[in-house]
Amino acid sequence: MAFGKVVAFFVTVFGALAASTHSEKIKCVENGRFYRDPDRPPQKVWTSSECSKYYLCLEGEVFDFRCSSGLLFDVIKQICDVKINVDNCDITSETITPRPTTINKCPNNHQKCTNGTCLPQKYFCDGSLDCPDGSDEKFCDPKNDPFGAPECNSSCSLPHCFCSPDGTQIPGNLEPSKVPQMVLLTFDGPVNSHNWVLLDGLLNGALNPNGCPIKATFFVSHESNNYHQTQKLWNEGHEIAVHSITYGRWLLNATIEDWFDEMVGQANIIHRFSGVRLRELRGLRAPFLQIGSNRQFLMMKEFGFVYDSSIVAPFTHLPLWPYTLDHKLPHECIKQECPTRPYPGVWEMVLNPFEARDYSCARLDACPGGLTGDDVFKILANNFKRHYLGNRAPFGLHLDTAWLKNRDYFDALQDFIGEILQQPDVWFVTNSQAIEWMQNPTPIDHLNGFKAWDCAKFFKKQELACKVPNVCKLYSSFFQQERYLYTCFECPVNYPWIRNEFGLN
């Protein structure tokens, strides 16, 4: 992979906001991880200017990065974070823990930690640190996990399990010409006055082949979210899913309890202040696509989430279909901490990257900058053809709503949506609707009777969004100032936040 592509990928995944440049003065520490300047002056170690710098060495070439203003680099978590959370400015690089030894005299079904401690094998790669040196959680890729998920096999069958050796097989073994081309339009982040008009202009008026309005999936984060507008989107038939409370970059190294607090907590907030039924909050997307390995998926399995939509597949000319996590991933996991254990029945709505010039990008807002509206339209059209003329795997349009503020991009996306909806077999559906189709593969000529995609949706009176919401002016102990919350329901005492999602006193 070319240096430019590698660096662009690291910037996308790890959230570096400043451009990278080549550095010939910094020593190379080549271990696949970011590090600090080994020769930085001791008196500058704890300064913001020095602690915000970090480097990556690839094949002997050093690239330098800098966190955005107000953030420092956490060399252990490998992320930029607020100053109060970073206490390792004096550490040059992450300590590499030696591999647990396979030559041991431990009892049966036990394995030895690097420091010689014997523990049950099931403690290794389970998401919790059990070895005193942490070595039980350091080598948990599919090749090393002693209890890793099995390869795809014939025991996997719909509606509860779906896999194929390379991920490209069509559910039900239908011919591509009989498969509806599903388009998954997804948005990340808060819904509020900054994007409401844009969303309304993009979604309203566009219809699926059955005459129903097109549908999208909203992965909602908490801060700045308008829960009244979120409720209106739900009433209109769009799917509301979870994107965390704090939008925290620290989730990459979070515990199972942290994932629970963020994701189940946000589900509770959405339910409490938007009225969305808990059973309809089925999916989540990790902030910045920073997956939490087995910890995230164990939490999802335990607390009833149906699907994740955070894993990015490598670019392939024949795109991948979503799959369940009963078996090993059907593709390589690149620079993400993907799950290695089986999680039966949990779906992965995998992200197929776009091909954009000389790059691949999992999300529209992560594609190269400097594009014109015509460039965006061509990228969308060319990548759509790869799906539509191939195996008709769902075509994902994943973006942050801030991307829509570029008028040329907005117009290009709107024109593209109108163009492909002229085809009688193109449907804009939610992630949950796509899963329902996969569980019951239905040919195009029978879709008019496919209940999961019809227009009907019924709400109780108290579930319908009010005309004028309550405007709650609430104190936030986290932000040390007042915040506003818009909801049709009763105002809480305090601003809801992690571990206090109902805003109790």
Closest CA to 52 of 33, 35, 67, 36: 67
Instruction: Count other Cβ atoms within 10 Å, centred on residue 332.
Output: 9
Give the mean pLDDT of 7-28: 52
438's CB contacts (< 8 A; 6+ apart) are 158, 162, 171, 321, 322
Task: State the pLDDT at residue 15.
Answer: 39
Identify the band that residue 16 occupies on the pLDDT scale cut at 50, 70 and 90: very low
Give yes or no for a contact between 119 and 113, defined as CB atoms under 8 angstroms apart.
Answer: yes
Identify the band that residue 334 occupies on the pLDDT scale cut at 50, 70 and 90: confident
Task: State the pLDDT at residue 6.
Answer: 41
Task: State the pLDDT at residue 122.
Answer: 78
144's CB contacts (< 8 A; 6+ apart) are 125
List domains and CATH numbers for the chain: 3-85 (no CATH), 99-147 (4.10.400.10), 178-453 (3.20.20.370)
Q: Side chain identity at 467, as an amino acid letter?
A: K
Give yes or no for a contact between 498 and 481, defined as CB atoms under 8 angstroms apart.
Answer: no
Residue 156 to residue 163: CA distance in whole angstroms: 7
User: How far, in Å, are 377, 381, 427, 428 from residue 420 at the CA level?
Assistant: 12, 9, 9, 10
Give the least confident one: 116-120, 134-138, 260-264, 296-300: 134-138
Each residue of 275-318: pLDDT tens digit? 999 999 999 999 999 998 888 999 999 999 999 999 999 999 99
User: How far, in Å, are 41, 115, 273, 289 from residue 397 at the CA level?
Assistant: 46, 47, 28, 15
Residue 239 to residue 274: CA distance in whole angstroms: 13
User: What percentage of the chain reaches a pLDDT higher than 90?
Assistant: 69
Peptide bond before 443: cis, by omega within 30 degrees of 0?
no
Residue 167 to residue 393: CA distance in whole angstroms: 10
Task: State the pLDDT at residue 163.
Answer: 97
Token couple for 99: 């591999």
Identify the band that residue 18 occupies on the pLDDT scale cut at 50, 70 and 90: very low
Q: Side chain identity at 128, as an amino acid letter?
A: S
Task: State the pLDDT at residue 4.
Answer: 42
Give yes or no for a contact between 473 and 467, defined as CB atoms under 8 angstroms apart.
Answer: no
Closest CA to 362 of 499, 242, 184: 184
Q: Which helix or strand (DSSP H or E) is residue 385 part of?
A: helix 373-388
The average confidence (pLDDT) of the chain is 89
Give the mean pLDDT of 177-206: 96
Task: State the pLDDT at residue 12.
Answer: 38
Residue 69 to residue 424: CA distance in whole angstroms: 49
Predicted TM-score (pTM) above 0.85: no
Handedness of CA 55, 58, 62, 65 (dihedral sign): negative
Indicate if the pLDDT at residue 7 is higher than 80: no
Indicate if the pLDDT at residue 259 is higher than 60: yes
Task: State the pLDDT at residue 31.
Answer: 73
Task: State the pLDDT at residue 19.
Answer: 42
User: How far, in Å, are 268, 326, 345 from residue 158 at the CA level?
Assistant: 30, 12, 10
Give yes or no for a contact between 280 and 493, defined as CB atoms under 8 angstroms apart.
Answer: no
Task: State the pLDDT at residue 102.
Answer: 55
Each residue of 62-80: pLDDT tens digit? 888 888 878 899 888 788 8
H-helix segments, 440-482: none
Give the least confident one: 37-46, 382-391, 424-433: 37-46
Task: State the pLDDT at residue 176.
Answer: 97
Closest CA to 9 of 404, 368, 494: 368
Token couple for 195: 């994007």
Residue 502 to residue 302: CA distance in whole angstroms: 22
Task: State the pLDDT at residue 103.
Answer: 58
Closest CA to 37 of 20, 22, 56: 56
Indicate if the pLDDT at residue 8 is higher than 50: no
Task: State the pLDDT at residue 76.
Answer: 82
Name the DSSP letter for residue 27: P
Closest CA to 53 of 63, 95, 82, 61: 63
Give the mean pLDDT of 157-167: 97
H-helix segments, 389-457: 407-420, 431-439
Residue 487 to residue 464: CA distance in whole angstroms: 12
Give yes or no for a contact between 432 and 239, defined as CB atoms under 8 angstroms apart.
Answer: yes
Residue 369 to residue 376: CA distance in whole angstroms: 10
Task: State the pLDDT at residue 104.
Answer: 60
Which residues are paired to 497 by β-bridges? 500
Token couple for 270: 């959405």
